[in-house]
Structure 1
């Protein structure tokens, strides 16, 4: 990566450092003059990276919670340091960030939210709070165009909003992708050449993974054998193995368990027919498309992760009607019936979508634009 901008001094005040974000934060540190101040914990359990391994890391801030609200100690004093722009998570629940924003406005310093923005499910009170909170920022980096359009309807100036998208470890994943080719990984396990569905992520009840098994059972009753592999830890005792056994499809299910080897994950995505995420989809969509696997999830976008926007219906995946198992099964049937030539074309479209937008290089370009645009 070439150096993008070293002139302005950027300060990142973050609620936490999620493990998956280390590559993009490190790339930012290599390309901009910046300092990172990162919160020590959140109420929900999130895997974090080693903060001290991050170039540009300065200090850990203590997050003090009162119910869902929290205060980041020692964050206010950062406003008076020699930084030109302040990047924050854009969380109204962080009470100290409101004060940081007000102080920056008084001192004439620019602020940038790196945020989900609008979901589309906000009630009246939450809309009022969000409208006020985001209006305090100079600029908004929003994860997807869907949220930006919703915010435009709320009266936000489109010229101050930028689509930042999301990414995983782009350089590492692209290297793995370049080495992938069709393999017998599923034939060797299932002892058949039948199509395979993949799911990658934690196994939780709200993700509705039992619906995958019920669809496979229905296919079997029609004489169609479909396999499914689940990469992830069962954190809520969902017991997919017992459900599969009761449905008579235990030999069609591979509960692989948690996997952190990107080479194995890449091979599994590359050779699967479709990635199915019945509950919703987030970074799994980026993971799957990075390795050429189309993604299938529901169409209630206000309850989706921002990464759903990487799915282009009929090209890089599809959407079924939320809660409609018959429609989900029909969409599965569409993707598992593709021949190898069509499957290769899907891989190329998936790669193109990731290379177009859902990568660290794109994000660095957006940040460069945010830093350089005069507002």
Structure 2
């Protein structure tokens, strides 16, 4: 069942199960813990998840927080998350470098991409501010936003105001095109919580930068291995975001192909339906 502690029907189901059919088992699958729970929420969650026979969690961070809050580690299992891996792998085998960005922007400047809904919680204006700051320092970057949302109009105005090159690609549900856009970008930047954007980007070999306040993150941040599959910056610090982007490209030993392989390895090993199925079989057998 979905592990939503504020869904009363789930409480009722688990309590009735213990009374009527105690031999049956109930397993919950959820984010679980974020690390920002107040005293009341800690105890509600402890009672709720304690009723289950086991809990599948999206990340190791949630498990760590749960254990610190007194929950039974033997009932907490990390299952991660995944996208349409089999389809993505087919596309990955077919992808080749293209001139899509050179043709659009007319230069060879590094490309920063974000793919997902253009919402306030993603704090995409921070990308613009960072790129404008870098431009003043003499470093030029192109920005590509793949997606749509309520923040688009505001972001379009901001891009004009800051005089930075931004391609508002819009919504795209064609995974062949998404694969090309991601593969040919240099770095995915998600200043707010990153979520499945990280998995999507790394599946096609593009590293990810997002913020380091894990209590305000989604579990997919755990796919980021510093200096290999991406990096972190201090939440809401434009200065540190600028530093993180600049540092990523200034490494003398930087190899786009090596980074691509790091991303592939992380996804292939831990963020697939097969990995999830293996975890389920291990604990439900």
1: CA distance, partners of 2:186 / 2:17? 50
1:300 and 2:213 are equivalent in the alignment: yes
Aligned to 2:145, what secondary structure does the other structure show?
A: strand
1:364 aligns with 2:280: no
Aligned partner of 2:76 in structure 1 is 161
Which residue number in structure 2 is paired with residue 199 of structure 1?
114
* 1:149 aligned partner: 64
Question: Which one of 55, 70, 76 corresponds to residue 140 of structure 1?
Answer: 55
Shift >4 Å, 4+ stretches: 338-341
Following superposition, the deviation at residue 340 of structure 1 comes to 9.9
In structure 2, the gaps of 5 or more residues are none
- Aligned pair count reads 283
Task: Report the equivalent of 2:138.
Answer: 223
CA distance in 2, matches of 1:364, 1:215: 40
Q: Conserved in 1, the CA contact under 8 Å of 2:122 and 2:194?
A: no
CA distance in 2 between counterparts of 1:294 and 1:365 reads: 26
1:64 matched to which residue of 2? none
* C-alpha separation in 1, matches of 2:64 and 2:208: 23
After TM superposition, list the pairs within 5 Å mapping 1:336-347 onto structure 2: 336-337=249-250, 342-347=255-260
1:35 maps to what in 2? none
Q: Does residue 207 of structure 2 align to residue 330 of structure 1? A: no
> What is the Cα-based RMSD across aligned positions, in Å?
1.4
**8 Å Cα contact 1:273-1:335 kept in structure 2:** no
**What is residue 91 of structure 1 aligned with on the other side?**
4
Would you say the 8 A contact 1:273–1:336 is kept in 2? no
Structure of larger gyration radius = 1
Whichever structure has more helix as a proportion of its residues is 2
Gaps of 5+ in 1: 1-87
Higher RCO structure (Cα 8 Å, ≥6 apart): 2
1:116 Cα deviation after fit: 0.6
Between the aligned partners of 1:230 and 1:184, the Cα distance in structure 2 is 17
Q: Is the 8 A contact 2:124 2:190 kept in 1?
A: yes
Quote the residue 2:162 is aligned against. 247
Residue matched to 1:281:
194
Determine the C-alpha separation between the residues in 2 that align with 1:189 and 1:338. Answer: 27
CA contact under 8 A between 1:199 and 1:276: conserved in structure 2? yes
TM-superposed deviation, 1:211: 1.2
Q: What is the distance in 1 between the residues matched to 2:226 and 2:253?
A: 19
User: Greater strand percent: which structure?
Assistant: 1
Distance of 2:149 and 2:250 partners within structure 1:
30
Shift of 1:236: 3.9
| Whole-angstrom distance in 1 between the partners of 2:41 and 2:254 | 48
Q: 1:287 to 1:187 in 2, by over 3 A?
A: same
The DSSP-based 3-state class of the residue aligned with 2:138 is coil
1:179 is aligned, of 72, 76, 94, to 94
Counterparts of 1:207 and 1:222 in 2: how far apart (Å)?
25
